[in-house]
Amino acid sequence: MRRRLLTGFFLFALVLVVALEVPLGLSLARNDRTTSMSEVQRDASSLAVLVAAGLSHGGGSGLQLVVNQFARADGAVVAVVLAGHVLAAAGSGVVEELSDARTKAIIRSAAAGHTSGEEGSNDPDDDFLYVALPVAISAPGPSGSSSLSHGSDVVLLVAESAAPLHSRIRNHWITLTLFGIGVLAVATALGTVLARSLTRPLEGIEAAVAAVGAGRLSERVPIGRGPAELNALGETVNEMADRLEELVHTQRAFLADASHQLRTPLTALRLRLENLEDTLDPEQRADLTPALAEADRLSRIVDGLLTLARTEGGVRPARESVDVEAALRDRAEAWGALAEERQVALACRSPAASGPHAPVIRVLACPGHFEQVLDNLLANALEVTPCGGSVSLQAVRVGKSIDVHVIDDGPGMSPGDRARAFDRFWRREGAPHGGSGLGLAIVAQLARMSGGTAWLDASPTGGIDAVVRLEACDG
């Protein structure tokens, strides 16, 4: 957001500077050209009076001296032309200038009236500002100067270098550019201060909301900095966090208290049932066995609720690196006795890239969560796998993640049942008795806390392929 505010403020300032300075620069350039041309025209008009007086009274005597003095004083090119013949000329490069076809055309057009303008070239510093005007001779010249009779087409050409004009215009543009850069720098600094004053409170709100979302329910938005609207938003967020913290703590306390209160009578109930078992005859004992199984099931439900209460809404612990293959072998060994008792083959498959020099496969997971996930999945797999079947553990790398598979040879599930399997207390029709319906819900919650996901696929043998995907740790 800060970058967008700065970009918008900078673009606005840039458009404003360009809209003001470009017309100003063009106006200054136009004024400089007008002033320069006026000066040349004024000089040419003054010189034309002298030239006309000299030609009218003295023929051509002294004309060259006047032209030389004017050319030296103003650094100009001056020429007096009669019917294509040069009567007097002075100035640097006057010969080349008078031989130029464009200069000849200017002199011809000036015989009919006053003309002025700027003669361009490939190099702007070689351009000339020129004025060409006819010189009126008021009286016929003396004897010996018959060509300078009254009404002769005498043209005065005055040309001055346009380099000073271009230099002034260039200096104007440089000044305006530097001024515009300064304005943009000031605007950028002010925009940075303004953007920070707006985004700093938003960053505080974002940090507080992220902390609450991560389970740190005591975090609050600092109030007192920034605009009133953002302070009001921060107060609203704090009120929401207060209410959320109260609800979560109330729910967590209720679950903990209820589970604790239920655990004690359930334990007492089981002890009474076990003590009663010794006093019953075989037929009565057969009726007592389902009651004991239901007591065990209620105990598992209470333990599952306690686990969910601890994991949901609490602070997420920092993830740590876990050796996947070592964890798989450890859990396979821990569950090996139960698998052997149920005549189920429990295998831990190594990835294709195995051996003493193969890289160790590691994932990022919260402490203890990965092992608990494997325990729940193995418990479900061994529960549904028939005698003579098999359960396999396998880890596969998929891009930047590691997929851990727990595959069984059980009866499998339909796609709809696999989609609902992670719902709390949901149990498919025909599932073995004694389950709590919380095992997969706990698996999904633990996987989420470790930054991963869990789902069920169909195995090649028709059973279930339970998959947990966690972020790989390459460090």
For residue 287, give the CATH number of its domain. 1.10.287.130
Same domain, 337 and 460: yes
Examine residue 206 and state whether it is found in any structural domain, yes or no.
Answer: no
pLDDT on residue 352? 45
Res. 455 pLDDT band, cuts 50 70 90: very high
Same domain, 329 and 420: yes
Same domain, 427 and 285: no
Examine residue 174 and state whether it is found in any structural domain, yes or no.
Answer: no
Q: What does residue 364 show for φ and ψ, rounded to 5 degrees? A: -95, 125
C-alpha 109/C-alpha 79 separation (Å) is: 15
pLDDT on residue 266? 76
Same domain, 48 and 140: yes
Give the residue numbers spanning the domain of 22: 2-169
Same domain, 425 and 364: yes
For residue 14, what are its two tokens? 């840039």
Examine residue 275 and state whether it is found in any structural domain, yes or no.
Answer: yes
In tens, the pLDDT along 267-318 reads: 777 787 777 777 777 777 777 777 777 777 677 677 766 766 666 655 567 7
Amino acid sitting at position 81: V
CATH of the domain at 394: 3.30.565.10
Same domain, 462 and 388: yes
Going by their DSSP bridges, the two strands 345-348 and 390-398 should be labelled as parallel
Domain count, the chain: 3
pLDDT on residue 157? 83
Which has more pLDDT, 321 or 251? 321
Is the pLDDT at 432 greater than 70? The verdict is: no
Examine residue 214 and state whether it is found in any structural domain, yes or no.
Answer: no
Amino acid sitting at position 197: S
Residue finishing a domain among 169, 191, 209? 169
Q: How far is CA 193 from CA 2, 206, 217, 234, in A?
A: 10, 20, 32, 21
Same domain, 237 and 331: no
> 349: Cβ–Cβ under 8 A, 6 or more apart, which residues?
392, 393, 394
Is the pLDDT at 469 greater than 90? The verdict is: yes
Same domain, 265 and 359: no
Same domain, 387 and 276: no
For residue 293, the SS3 value is helix
CATH of the domain at 19: 3.30.450.20
In tens, the pLDDT along 174-215 reads: 999 999 999 889 988 888 888 777 777 777 888 888 888 777
Examine residue 178 and state whether it is found in any structural domain, yes or no.
Answer: no
Q: Which of 116, 113, 58 is nearest to 87 (CA)?
A: 58
Q: Which of 180, 169, 209, 199 is nearest to 15 (CA)?
A: 180
Residue finishing a domain among 311, 330, 348? 311
> Residues 18, 192: contact at Cβ < 8 Å?
no
Same domain, 89 and 234: no
Residue finishing a domain among 311, 344, 373? 311
> Residues 449, 316: contact at Cβ < 8 Å?
yes
pLDDT on residue 92? 74
Which has more pLDDT, 344 or 128? 344
Examine residue 197 and state whether it is found in any structural domain, yes or no.
Answer: no
Examine residue 431 and state whether it is found in any structural domain, yes or no.
Answer: yes
Same domain, 120 and 142: yes
Residue the block writes with tokens 């009474």: 272
C-alpha 376/C-alpha 464 separation (Å) is: 14
Same domain, 238 and 153: no
Examine residue 203 and state whether it is found in any structural domain, yes or no.
Answer: no
